[in-house]
Amino acid sequence: MTRISRSVLGGFAAAIALSVTAPLTAQESSGQGSGTVVEDGGAHFVGNPDAELTLTEYVSYTCSHCAHFAADGDPALKLAYIPSGKLRVEYQSFLRNPVDAAASLLTRCGEPWRFPANHHKFMHNQPEWLGKAQKASQSQVQRWGTGPLPERMRAIASDLDFYELMETLGYKRTEVDKCLADEAAVQMLADQTQAAVAIGVQGTPSFALNGSVLDGVHAWAMLQPHLDTALSEPTNP
């Protein structure tokens, strides 16, 4: 699990705080049943909207353990759990730094149905772009943390080759720049992160079942027994 202190989180939230008077409230969906992808309030939901169980993953795109979960847990969820119609998965970005913000903006770029592929691409390619971030020069890091937010996000995207990554998903540079300039979305994701901390999320990946955070569960091997137990219990009438 990748941890983040409250002081670091608070500093980052303050650094990206914006003059937004109201959160985004639009809800969009594609498909029906277990294939539904819905965006609501900064999170993406994948699976049957009427599922009896909602698994929430708090994910940081700069967290190597989150990439491990994407490799180990996401295929099982996609093949064995979500298609049953009994479970849907909610993905909530947990912002730890400006690179997280840029990656989160791009995974949510486009229509909601595009989120799963965007998410997978960033996680699958994390060793490459995160390696570049870890080798960034002091001047690069300074560009990422100062100035107008759209300029900072574009600098990150340029330095870490996010434009090329998004091109492989069919996005044009103008589309990428539009997503990177979405200041309201960054504010919403920062608020979402603070709300997660308030209910006890201390690192990533973390998980909740129907809103209850699972203490000490940060990998697929730990999570799967909780899912199987919850899904085997009789549904309340």
CA distances from 9 to 167, 173, 191 (A): 31, 30, 11
* Nearest C-alpha neighbor of 91 from the set 45, 123, 31: 45
- Predicted local confidence at residue 42, as pLDDT: 87
CB atoms within 10 A of CB 220: 20
CA distances from 20 to 164, 185, 233 (A): 30, 10, 42
Higher pLDDT, 28 or 127: 127
pLDDT at 28 over 50: no
Q: Rounded distance, CA 131 to CA 154, Å?
A: 18
Residue 2: pLDDT band (50, 70, 90) is low
Pair of tokens at residue 72: 């180990």
Higher pLDDT, 165 or 23: 165
Q: Rounded distance, CA 141 to CA 139, Å?
A: 5
pLDDT-above-70 percentage for the chain: 84
191: alpha, beta or left, given left = phi > 0 and alpha = psi -120 to 50? alpha
Say if CB 8 and CB 57 are below 8 A apart.
no
CA distances from 127 to 13, 62, 144, 226 (A): 26, 10, 20, 29
- Predicted local confidence at residue 154, as pLDDT: 98
Please report, as a single letter, which amino acid is at residue 186: V
Mean pLDDT in residue range 208-225: 96
**What's the mean pLDDT when you consider all of the chain?**
87
Cα dihedral 14/17/19/25 (nearest 10): -130
Task: Give the global pTM.
Answer: 0.86
- Predicted local confidence at residue 235, as pLDDT: 61
* Nearest C-alpha neighbor of 74 from the set 116, 104, 34: 116
Question: For 112, phi and psi rounded to 5 degrees?
Answer: -55, -35
Mean pLDDT in residue range 49-78: 96
Q: Rounded distance, CA 75 to CA 77, Å?
A: 5
Task: Give the residue extent of every domain in the chain.
Answer: 2-15+22-232
Mean pLDDT in residue range 30-46: 76
Half-sphere exposure of 89 (CA within 13 A, CB side): 25
Higher pLDDT, 207 or 237: 207
Mean pLDDT in residue range 38-42: 89
Mean pLDDT in residue range 116-137: 97
- Predicted local confidence at residue 3, as pLDDT: 59
- CATH code, residues 2-15+22-232: 3.40.30.10
